[in-house]
Amino acid sequence: MKRLEQTFVVLNGWALILMLSGMAIVVGANISLRYLTSHSLPWADEVARYLMIWLTFTGAGLILRIGGHVAITNLQDSLPKTGQKLLRAAIVLILLVFFAFMVQVGWQYAQRMQYQVTPALRLPFLYVYAAMPVGFALLIVHLLLIARPFILAGDYKHLGDSGTDHGALPGGANG
């Protein structure tokens, strides 16, 4: 299971690296062409925008793993240990329900957009809006993989951690 989790995290990370690299190449090429030839690629802005959308949704799960999303812990910190665990369990359940709802809503929205095409690429908007259900599905998987250590100890994983060593975030901040 640990190897499967590690492979999942690595593949998710590489997908983000490839999307960010593609975005940088397209934007860099467009800027270069604009200044060197006074012409630009008519589809470059569109590609960069859609890659940014996909980066945002597919990267949210990796950030969730390390506790990188905004969190206010005043209530949790004021509770006894048992209360903290119950609160964290409730948070995980609420997030799972919300993420599942957003997968459903995102998929419905993407299907509604399948017949409209993007202006420059002529790509069905289904592929753009599919980022939402895919991203929230990834959030569900990442949340399930970190739920136990989070509920029991409030710990997140280190950036390179996929084993059993669940520690706090670097710098002492853990949510």
**At CA 104, angle to CA 103 and CA 109, rounded to 5?**
95
Q: Is residue 166 predicted with pLDDT exceeding 90?
A: no
What distance separates the 2 farthest-apart alpha carbons in the chain?
Answer: 66
Q: Are 137 and 103 in contact (CB under 8 A)?
A: yes
Please tell me the predicted confidence (pLDDT) of residue 160. 58
Q: C-alpha distances in angstroms, 18 versus 23, 62, 88, 123, 161?
A: 9, 15, 34, 20, 21
Please tell me the predicted confidence (pLDDT) of residue 70. 85
If you average pLDDT over every residue of the chain, what do you get? 90
Q: Is 46 helix (H, G, I), strand (E, B) or coil?
A: helix
**At CA 142, angle to CA 139 and CA 144, rounded to 5?**
105
Instruction: For residue range 105-146, list pLDDT tens digits in order.
Output: 999 999 999 999 999 999 999 999 999 999 999 999 999 999
At residue 71 the predicted structure's pLDDT band, cuts being 50, 70 and 90, is: confident
Burial of residue 142, with CB atoms counted within 10 A of its CB: 0-12 exposed, 13-18 middle, 19 or more buried: buried
> Token pair of 160, please?
């390179």
> Token pair of 70, please?
């905004």
Tell me the pTM.
0.85
Q: Which residue has the higher pLDDT, 45 or 69?
A: 45
Mean pLDDT of 7-34: 97
Mean pLDDT of 27-51: 96
Please tell me the predicted confidence (pLDDT) of residue 73. 86
List of long-range contacts for 79-83, beta carbons under 8 Å, 24+ apart: none
Q: Which of 107, 112, 102, 98 is nearest to 130 (CA)?
A: 107
Burial of residue 140, with CB atoms counted within 10 A of its CB: 0-12 exposed, 13-18 middle, 19 or more buried: middle
Please tell me the predicted confidence (pLDDT) of residue 153. 86
